[in-house]
Amino acid sequence: MSIDAKSWASKYKSLTNNDETIQAMGKYYTCRFLFDMGDRQILVDMHDGKVKDIDTEPGPLDAYDFALRASPQTWREFARPVPRPMFHGIWAASFREDLKLEGNLLVLMQNLRNFTVQFELLRQCGVPV
């Protein structure tokens, strides 16, 4: 059963903006990234550790720094409260599963600690696929 994308975005934004770790370390956490979930794309715009915007229907010309692309099933596995092995993080899934990292990976690496914390919030809010 799929979660409504708009309500998901609201919950994900709230979880991110109220996460103590991101708020303690995220002063310079500024980037735009795309979650490509197959039939659904989500564009997250971060500015100084806060979600500026989440676009649940980005267009083909909307720019982003980096993208994570995987099948809906992989995203659902990421979002389980306790993911199966190889779905516990982006590196394991990119080595053994179907996750692809694309774009300016330097920006991802510069923001990796905050991004990882934010990515793991999917375990609390699920995914809209």
pLDDT in tens, 81-115: 999 998 989 999 998 889 999 999 999 999 999 99
Range of the domain at 11: 5-125
CATH classification at residue 102: 3.30.1050.10
Q: What is the pLDDT of residues 34-87, one digit of tens each?
A: 999 999 999 999 999 999 999 999 999 999 999 999 999 999 999 999 999 989
* pLDDT for residue 1 is more than 60: no
Tokens of 47: 């500015």
Say which residues have a Cβ less than 8 Å from residue 96's Cβ, sequence separation at least 6.
86
Q: How many domains in the chain?
A: 1
Alpha-carbon separation of residue 58 from 8, 33, 35, 39 (angstroms): 15, 11, 11, 12
